[in-house]
Amino acid sequence: MTRALIWFRNDLRVHDNRVLAAAVRAADDGVVGVFAICAEQWKKHDWSSAKVSLVMRSVAELSRSLDALNIPLLLVDEPLFAQLPDRLLAIARQHGCDALFFGHEYEWNERLRDEAVSNRFEEQGLKVRALADRTLVTPGSVRTQAGRWYTVYSPFRRAVLARWADEGFPEVVNTPRKLGRRICDSDPVPTHVPRFDGPTHERLWPAGEREAMRRLDRFVSDRIDSYKAKRDLLAEPGTSELSPYLSIGAISIRTCLARAVERAQGRIDKGPEGACTWINELLWREFYTHVLAGFPRVSKSRAFRVETERIEWVEDERLFEAWKIGRTGYPVVDAGMRQLLETGWMHNRARMITASFLTKHLGIDWRRGEQHFMRHLVDGDLANNNGGWQWSASTGTDAQPYFRIFNPVSQGKRFDPDGAYVRRYVHELADRSAADVHVPISGGLFDTDYPGPVVDHARAREAALRRFGAKV
Ligand SMILES: Cc1cc2nc3c(=O)[nH]c(=O)nc-3n(C[C@H](O)[C@H](O)[C@H](O)COP(=O)(O)OP(=O)(O)OC[C@H]3O[C@@H](n4cnc5c(N)ncnc54)[C@H](O)[C@@H]3O)c2cc1C
């Protein structure tokens, strides 16, 4: 007889959850779920209140969905990962569970935590089954001909597509059947976690699996066909806005892929451009998770390109503060930074522009920007955030070359041509026309408290070239 304990982490859903499906298949004597609230650890990892709020609200929905399957969800409240081996083992013992199931996580501290928990269970004679659920392809299973981890996106993508051509697309697993009997009652799910704000941005980011599926449906029916044309337009709702749900596993990446493949009628390489472009973005997520799994140094605030550790970054608190609050005097940069503070999310193009501005124009260390983003993003995800920052800073895998430096004025004109994005977030510029909304104000030209540019574009560009060119 097997009674399973499922440890939910960033797989907060019942549909297409390989861990849940495997545990239900294996258990002939009931299943118990557990979720661990580790507030102190989450703070150390710079989780934002917006993310914690989405997580807790999604755990509450998960608990209701599991309830319908006769699976109770218990909560463990331990400040740090270090206490989890004992606490989880105690729960397993209390409820007579003899096997632990969980999905792999690839961040370094999470890997150490999982090793410690697995060792403790196995020492005590309990079984442990860890499955790959977070990705489309198990990290490490796609390698170069020399057996190395890929460090460049395009060949990685080609290798994944070749695998799917041979083996078919990853399978989507259904919600499991309802179990015959429930082992115990579920714990109530708190809405507030100490050290974090209460429910945050809950109207913008409704919780849970049902909302994530609704967004996927809407994206596939209304937006995916025009995704290639609109994904870079800052003022348009042209993307799926699924990242918060993917980052906590309220939706499965395989389900997302399956819907795009269906839309592309299986022709995912040279098929319909909207669906194919979207699949390429799912594969960027995949690539960065593989990089995180294969190169643990990126979890430890180290540059992927080790030689870029020699760059001497600028330490200027006044400039950093201006960037954080959206008062650099470059309208599109400020709009992006204010979107982050107001909504917990930022358009991908704005993430690229603001990250480039911090690291190239202001010369400030990418690690400070990465941390600020994590502290505010509802979709904060170490692999994607670190990947995006190191790409922008030219320190990462397959990164932007250091000499390609975005001009924030021309980026604004190109990707926010009528200025609607800037006007939405930079209220001081609300009456500015499309023609002048992206141009920094200088010499008190307009009567406004919007600041003039904190740095001159041409001079900042030269300084960045010197800073990088001399070192890399
Ligand atoms: C500096 C910087 C920081 C970033 N930080 C994060 C982060 O913390 N969390 C996060 O999920 N994404 C991050 N991204 C990637 C990207 O900006 C977001 O995933 C995207 O904006 C989310 O919007 P969407 O769900 O509408 O994406 P869509 O365009 O609809 O794409 C679908 C999904 O594909 C994945 N994806 C899309 N673009 C990328 C990309 N460039 N890299 C990796 N995955 C991608 C995401 O999971 C996204 O939800 C960052 C990018 C940069 C440049």
110-120 pLDDT, tens digit each: 999 999 999 99
Quickly count: other Cβ atoms within 10 Å of residue 466's Cβ.
11
**CATH code of the domain made up of 306-469:** 1.10.579.10
Rounded average pLDDT over 370-393: 98
Say if ligand 1 is within 6 A of residue 363 CB.
Answer: no
The number of the ligand 1 atom at minimal distance from the alpha carbon of 242 is 25
Are residues 417 and 411 in contact, defined by beta-carbon separation less than 8 angstroms?
no
Q: What is the DSSP string of 347-415?
A: -HHHHHHHHHIIIIIS---HHHHHHHHHHH-TT--HHHHHHHHHHHTT-STTPPPTT----HHHHHHHH
**CATH code of the domain made up of 4-131:** 3.40.50.620
The Cα 455–Cα 97 span in angstroms is 61
Are residues 71 and 101 in contact, defined by beta-carbon separation less than 8 angstroms?
no
Of residues 403 and 367, the one with the higher pLDDT is 367
Q: What is the pTM of this model?
A: 0.97
What's the 348 CA to ligand 1 centre distance in angstroms? 6
Can 389 be counted among the known catalytic residues?
Answer: yes
Question: What are the start-end ranges of the H helices in 176-252?
Answer: 208-218, 227-230, 243-248
Of residues 152 and 443, the one with the higher pLDDT is 152
- pLDDT over 90 for what percent of the chain? 93
Check pLDDT > 70 for residue 446: no
Q: 309: number of CA atoms within 13 Å, CB side?
A: 10
Q: Which amino acid is at 29?
A: D
Can 108 be counted among the known catalytic residues?
Answer: no
Are residues 209 and 101 in contact, defined by beta-carbon separation less than 8 angstroms?
no
- So where are the chain's domains? 4-131, 153-172+206-295, 306-469
What's the 249 CA to ligand 1 centre distance in angstroms? 14
Question: pLDDT tens digits for 371-380?
Answer: 999 999 999 9
The number of the ligand 1 atom at minimal distance from the alpha carbon of 347 is 21
Cα distances from 285 to residues 38, 135, 236, 295, 332, in angstroms, run 25, 9, 22, 15, 25
Listed in sequence order, the residues at least 6 apart from 147 whose beta carbon sits closer than 8 Å to its beta carbon are none
The Cα 8–Cα 131 span in angstroms is 12
Say if ligand 1 is within 6 A of residue 386 CB.
Answer: no
CA torsion sign for 103, 109, 114, 115 is: positive
The Cα 11–Cα 259 span in angstroms is 19
Can 281 be counted among the known catalytic residues?
Answer: yes
Say if ligand 1 is within 6 A of residue 379 CB.
Answer: yes
Say if ligand 1 is within 6 A of residue 285 CB.
Answer: yes
Check pLDDT > 90 for residue 121: yes
Question: pLDDT tens digits for 174-184?
Answer: 999 999 999 99
What pLDDT is attached to residue 198?
A: 83
Check pLDDT > 90 for residue 403: no
Q: What is the DSSP string of 126-181?
A: -EEEEE--SSSS-TTSSB-TTSPBP-SHHHHHHHHHHHHHHH-SPPPPPPPPPPS-
Check pLDDT > 60 for residue 81: yes
Average pLDDT, the chain: 95
Which of 68-72, 396-400, 454-458 has the weakest average pLDDT? 396-400
Cα distances from 163 to residues 158, 159, 160, in angstroms, run 9, 6, 5
What pLDDT is attached to residue 356?
A: 97
* CATH T-level topology, domain 153-172+206-295: 1.25.40
Which of 37-46, 391-400, 423-432 has the weakest average pLDDT? 391-400
pLDDT-derived band at 269 (thresholds 50, 70, 90) equals confident
Question: pLDDT tens digits for 26-49?
Answer: 999 999 999 999 999 999 999 999
The Cα 471–Cα 311 span in angstroms is 6
